[in-house]
Structure 1
């Protein structure tokens, strides 16, 4: 048995704690917030996420809270044309072994929190912000913002895109500001006309903007997320946004999409950030995971999914008695870096080239998407949605082999 410190009590941190504890290890989760809670709105979960959740023992609890959608629908946001749709029902589920669903972030977070609270090997410590760490050959010690110290066999940085652990490990500065601003709103489904209550994740694509909506909360709410490629250069998170500002930010939005956007209330805005992929997230007894290691834009809907995959693989490797702690963490880094780097870069590409073109480029995009059959659409996502070992045990994972360049091939 080893003792693991986890910095960050979000989805990735709790999943890591659960993964390690269920393999017989002691885990202490240090959360900077006063309570363990998850803020935010809707989140999409691919079959790979459900496979990870099943390994963690909370798959059914999340399924019970999920909305199972029929398709991912791509619309031309200016003409209102239905361009393409990826079906997510029988053939998709049979091929990938699990459904595609949407949930409120809290409906993913709560089963993980409940499971961690039920594990005697997991200690949850709120109001504990990690400030720095140091390590020697045998242990790693964390110092918190209020001067306390915690010592264990390893430290996992699961403390998000502005990770204090990453700062001490890599020192690579602030995240990259994408230049995209997203506005989010969640409204009761009763406010949505019956004819607009579609069982689909629907994306309306326009010139330098797109708009996504889907039901969450077991069908009780509609999640609205409208994004502008507006060149924003200053990061912000969760600031209230005036309704007039949101409605004025999507010129040319077609009639049906406009009706849905106008339903939004109590809008909040974020400027989206990510980081460039890096080869190395570990040093000795310290490792990063989730958004601390490979933060990505939302456009591939894989941020939480990849964190859940990380947790499963990391738990497997912590249970491997065949090597020292540093070697196990290096193997985790090597196992996961190419897959997560590819997801990061694909998410950027989708935002730049799939969702936001105008004019002739938009017409060419529509023609390309229309030409794809359901099977071909499934083929496009098979590497992402269909992976059940998350890069583990399939490639040469020697530290130093491959690297991020492999994700670009």
Structure 2
């Protein structure tokens, strides 16, 4: 851009899932939205992700669910097994009563495919998308957010949405903290499903739980690909090494697992591994006219498969609290942004804090050994299919961001 200053109603910093979802949500409310991304091209790195009903409901409200279903898979079951014995511990049917209860399907989709669905949604809605923009700082000047970039171009907006991920440049405006190492790393891989692929479980999400490790498999892209993720406690990561030169740690972590699990390791790409971090929850995400969302606000471990889901929830709530107050019949009301982002923060911080903390505990329960493993297995086996007591708090239609939950009214109740 040649302009020394660019003005917009909303500036979104970060072109990942959270940034695209937030930009689309506010554009649907009528805002003039500019999204800046530091990478030269938009894209998403990784393999598959799971979209629970609390996320697919948000896509449904934006008219994007069918596009996701065209390229994704609706698994029939979520199944947990012991990785050492192969014993089934519990399963949840994901159609029928489950889908009816939560108002939307459970979908597994390649990260790049969901990213493309959101990107195309933003393009169709008229979001201004700008690449190669490195935002170095944001300040509030005369009631507007001003983002300063490495290229010397300033962006001004009534509100700035910081969606720049785990290692956010903007989070230091609200918190003096660092990412927290989990000591666990992940290897991922997607391989074509062929006639030689074992046919068992190709319609389900399967999770094998082992001491200090687990493995997840499910189909992608209408059953054309098999997605595999192996997560284990890494001695080298505990020493501070994010990457590691060999696969001996991977092989050692699964040496006591059943052959089906060990065979699945052949599906992994081993050139790169993903060290797993989160951060401690924080209550405040707001600095002047800047507010965080997504992993910048609440990065979480992946055990509940809620990282992208909570980003979509963020966007839905932001849309709700600003609609009708910020965006009026006379146009944008900049003065209403202070209350809107405060309400957004109030609604979302408590919920995402619970998800972050529960993900940590859930992961610990997956990786236990000895007597704890025996007790864990007994607890899992005591659960019957379509026992929803462990799901309702996370997937329920009365949760923030659901179409049946008017957020502005809720926020006024919470802040009263």
Answer yes or no: same fold by TM over 0.5.
yes
Aligned to 1:158: 163
Q: Cα 1:131–1:12, aligned 2, differ >3 Å: closer, same or farther?
A: same
Alpha-carbon deviation of 1:193? 2.3
Confirm or deny: 8 A CA contact 2:343 2:415 kept in the other structure.
Answer: no
1:333 to 319, 335, 345: 345
Aligned to 1:149: 154
Aligned to 2:331: none
* CA deviation vs aligned residue, 1:168-220 (integer Å, no higher than 9, x gap): x2242321111111111221112752334521111111111111111112211
CA distance in structure 1 between the aligned counterparts of 2:360 and 2:197, rounded to whole angstroms: 34
- Structure 2 SS opposite 1:182: strand
- Structure 2 SS opposite 1:108: helix
Aligned to 1:387: 397
- Structure 2 SS opposite 1:131: strand
2:226 to 222, 228, 232: 222
* Residues 100-115 of structure 1 aligned to structure 2 (within 5 Å): 100-115=106-121
Q: Cα 1:381–1:389, aligned 2, differ >3 Å: closer, same or farther?
A: closer
Q: Cα 1:362–1:330, aligned 2, differ >3 Å: closer, same or farther?
A: same
Aligned to 1:41: 47
Q: Cα 1:157–1:380, aligned 2, differ >3 Å: closer, same or farther?
A: same
Alpha-carbon deviation of 1:86? 1.2
CA distance in structure 2 between the aligned counterparts of 1:123 and 1:222, rounded to whole angstroms: 35
Aligned to 2:144: 139
* Residues 252-291 of structure 1 aligned to structure 2 (within 5 Å): 252-291=256-295
Alpha-carbon deviation of 1:230? 3.0
* TM-score in terms of structure 1 length: 0.91
* Residues 314-325 of structure 1 aligned to structure 2 (within 5 Å): 314-321=318-325, 324-325=336-337
Aligned to 1:405: none
Asked if 1:344 corresponds to 2:356, the answer is yes
- Structure 1 SS opposite 2:170: helix
Alpha-carbon deviation of 1:286? 0.8
CA distance in structure 2 between the aligned counterparts of 1:222 and 1:285, rounded to whole angstroms: 44
Aligned to 1:54: 60
* TM-score in terms of structure 2 length: 0.89
Structure 1 gap ranges (5+): 403-409
Alpha-carbon deviation of 1:32? 0.6
Aligned to 1:406: none
Deviates more, 1:296-305 or 1:202-211: 202-211
CA distance in structure 2 between the aligned counterparts of 1:234 and 1:241, rounded to whole angstroms: 14
- Structure 2 SS opposite 1:152: strand
Q: Cα 1:192–1:3, aligned 2, differ >3 Å: closer, same or farther?
A: farther
Aligned to 2:132: 127
Aligned to 1:77: 83
Count of residue pairs the alignment pairs up? 397
Confirm or deny: 8 A CA contact 2:160 2:290 kept in the other structure.
Answer: yes
- Structure 1 SS opposite 2:156: strand
